[in-house]
A = this chain, B = another copy of it.
Amino acid sequence: MISANSDKLVRSLHQKKYRIKNNKFILEGIRTIDCAINNATSFSFIIYTKRFSNQNPELISKINCKSTEIVSEMEMGKLSPSKSPSGILAIANMIDYGQFNNDSNVVFLDEISDPGNMGTIIRTAVWFGIYQIVLSPGCIDPYNPKVVRSAMGSHFSLGWIGEKEISSLNNYVLIGADQNSKNKQLDKLIDKWALVMGSESHGISKNTRLYLDQTIGITKIGAGESLNIGVAMGILLHKMTK
């Protein structure tokens, strides 16, 4: 059994305000925690179930954290923010991303609210070498446990993520993802861009639209109203980075 203090801390970190207050967040799942270990993350503590440790001896042997504890499945069920806990959960300090780098391409997210989508977006951006993600006000917290879980450890590869006004990206060519755009390719003369992705249900907001320099879209061959935002961004980044 973990201490009452640790128990209280884990549960509090399900909520954004306590993540900020404690400067800590929850990591769950084998891939995320493996990534964190590979990135020499310093953990406050790690808990796992016996079943998990029997099934994943390799990961367990890699853990370099003074404070680890085996908990029962029931205890894990209570502490985990997930409906189907993976069997391992770690607490770490929030990542210090340092300064925003004005010289590299970025993705700008406009009121993205779904945690699974946010996680997929981070994972996909990093795959395509886009290491900075700028969030509008109203986006879901990137340290939300569901975001962290679906990002599969890509938080540790990110260069920077945080809130910033779109007006501050004034030295970027701002390219809005828009399914009605006639433009299907990136103009090769553009050397520094921000790809702007609108929200799942409302697209790019009115205010953000005012700052766009151009749009880019994906040809629809079959049917449907739209693509999932993570899928759409993946296709656009694939086109824009190759």
Q: Which A residues fall within an 8 A CB radius of B?
A: 31, 35, 116, 120, 123-131, 150, 152-154, 157, 218-228, 230-232, 234-235, 238, 241-242
In the complex, 27 of the A-B residue pairs with CB atoms within 8 angstroms, ordered by the A residue number, are A31-B225, A120-B228, A123-B227, A123-B228, A124-B231, A125-B222, A126-B224, A127-B221, A127-B223, A127-B224, A128-B221, A129-B223, A150-B228, A152-B225, A152-B226, A153-B225, A154-B224, A157-B222, A157-B224, A221-B241, A221-B242, A227-B234, A228-B230, A228-B234, A230-B231, A231-B234, A232-B234
Please tell me if the beta carbons of B116 and A222 are within 8 angstroms of each other in the complex. no
Cβ contact of A222, chosen from B126, B226, B242, cutoff 8 A: B126
Given known contacts A218-B238, A235-B235, A242-B219, is B154 in contact with A123 (CB within 8 Å)? Answer: no
Residues in chain B near residue A220, CB distance under 8 A? 127
Within the complex, the shortest CB–CB distance from A48 to chain B, in Å, comes to: 18
Q: Give the complex CA separation of A208 and B120 in angstroms.
A: 27
Cβ contact of A124, chosen from B129, B152, B227, cutoff 8 A: B227
Residues in chain B near residue A150, CB distance under 8 A? 228
Q: Give the complex CA separation of A38 and B150 in angstroms.
A: 33
